[in-house]
Chain A
Amino acid sequence: MDAITVIERCRQEEISLGELALRLEGEQNGASPDEVLDRVEQMLVVMERAAHEALAKPVRSVSGLTGGDAYRYDQYRKEGRSILGEAASMAMAFALSSSETNAAMGRIVACPTAGSCGILPAALFSMAHTHTFSRRQLQDAFLAAGVVGMIIDEHASLAGAQGGCQAECGSAAAMAAAAVVQLMGGSPAQCFHAGAIAIKNMLGLVCDPVAGLVEIPCIKRNAGGVLQALGAADLALSGVESYIPFDDTVEAMNRVGNAMPAALRETALGGLATTASGKEMRERIYGA
């Protein structure tokens, strides 16, 4: 499956990406639309809780390295001091909350991974708070993100250990960008332009977690990732197109991932993990 064939099928059958996902689940797995939507709704409920959990009160990670930033940022935002608009600032708060909840052993939905679990919920629920959508529209947007993720998984990778952070937060941003475009009424082609722009802007991002934990820099990369997603969606909705089509950006992401040294693929042997401060934090947790 690739974006070109998906766009063509959506055009012929006059359906959205989300509707296509429902049809694919039926064709490939025999699942009824109701079964699929029930499962999607269950995930949306978990996502929404995690997106709010660390805003209500400060949450600390199990390692003690991180926490409290979602709460801090949300307070600042609520005081009207954010230099960003309502949707973008809310999205950053939600992304931080989900990721901090994850680091604190709270319940989240891996989408596509636990390390990138904040991006799609932040995009969906910041849009839901600033616009009026039905629950079904949110479910459809979730499904649209899933189609984009399936294509990336087939032609590249969604794992930081294989493709670096571009594979996790980059993919999540592409998925979220497509979901937002669909929510706002964009076409399937526009969804993939948004996805392509998001991937291009996060291409080459390495996976270099301090002490090997899903905390530094992962939590803030989720906040950055959702801004990339909203930006890419906004460009696509205005009619801006990606000169490099989505399938080519995925192919490039795959080659870039393969060219990445192992030290920058989730081994904690390079990048931020091996800075003086990164090593000092590692020693604090595991001993010298």
Chain B
Amino acid sequence: MPNSIFDIMGPIMIGPSSSHTAGAARLGKMAYKLSGGDVAQADIYLHGSFAATYRGHGTDKALVAGLLNLSPWDERLRDAFSLAEERGLSYRFIPTDLGDVHPNTVRFVITGHNGDQSEIMGSSIGGGQVVVSEIDGLRVRFTGERPILITRHADTPGVISAIATLLYERNINIGNMTVNRSRQDHAASMYIEIDSLCQEDLTSRIRQIPGILRVKLLLPIEERLPAQF
């Protein structure tokens, strides 16, 4: 059941399709954020309806616009390709079959300027709403509404509890979490959705916990129009 009139009315967006254009731009922007805002090269795998109709719906431009941190309402979305060239972002589109996933699904393989790679998979589920389902091999359910933390850490007792304690001390409630372990390198990945915004130093404090290899914090995706536009 919709909770707000604004679930029905809007978004304000560049046409022609809320799922294939606005949703695609949102997914691109999430991939930009999840890769830490550093995108040099992106391989963009398109599945299902995205693969079949991406040119006609401007899905390709919208995805690239998102990777340039543009919002679905931004009229520069139309010129995303030339903007990407200006900013030195290279990309290629690869229609493919991603398996048993939503028909409007995209997988980004992103390489940063420092050579870091990240992989993000997400779907545009209607009316411009999106959900990210996989981040660097970790199954997640990120809709961009609440902040999330992603850690990679030693697969030993105490690490998760130390993170949870840190959150508890700051009165931050955990809404959802997933842990995934890899036998090869004795490391685990964890995804935590939290209810409230966290203080600036949270990630640096988590990084100090023994056994932590990597921390990413992703804030809710903000895309409100400026008052004058």
Contact = CB atoms under 8 A, between A and B. Distances in A.
A29 interface: yes
Contact of B13 (A1, A31, A114, A143): A114
A154 B16 contact: no
B223 interface: no
Contacts, number: 131
A211 B15 contact: no
Interface stretch (B4-12, B109-117, B154-162, B163-171): B4-12
Interface in B56-83: 56-58, 61, 73, 75, 77-78
A105 interface: yes
Interface residues of B, number: 38
Greatest chain A CB density within 10 A among B2, B8, B75, B225 is at B8
Contact of B2 (A107, A113, A150, A285): A150
A179 to B, nearest CB: 11
Given A212-B49, A214-B17, A215-B16, A107 B75 contact: yes
Contacts of A213: 16, 53, 56-57
A233 interface: no
B56 A63 contact: yes
Contacts of B8: 111-112, 146, 149-150, 153, 158
Given A43-B9, A112-B8, A212-B53, A62 B16 contact: yes
Contacts of B11: 109-110
Interface in A65-116: 101-115
B22 interface: yes
Given A142-B9, A149-B9, 20 more contacts: A25-B4, A36-B5, A40-B9, A62-B58, A103-B16, A105-B15, A105-B58, A105-B77, A107-B15, A107-B75, A108-B12, A110-B10, A110-B13, A111-B10, A114-B17, A146-B9, A149-B5, A150-B5, A153-B8, A286-B56
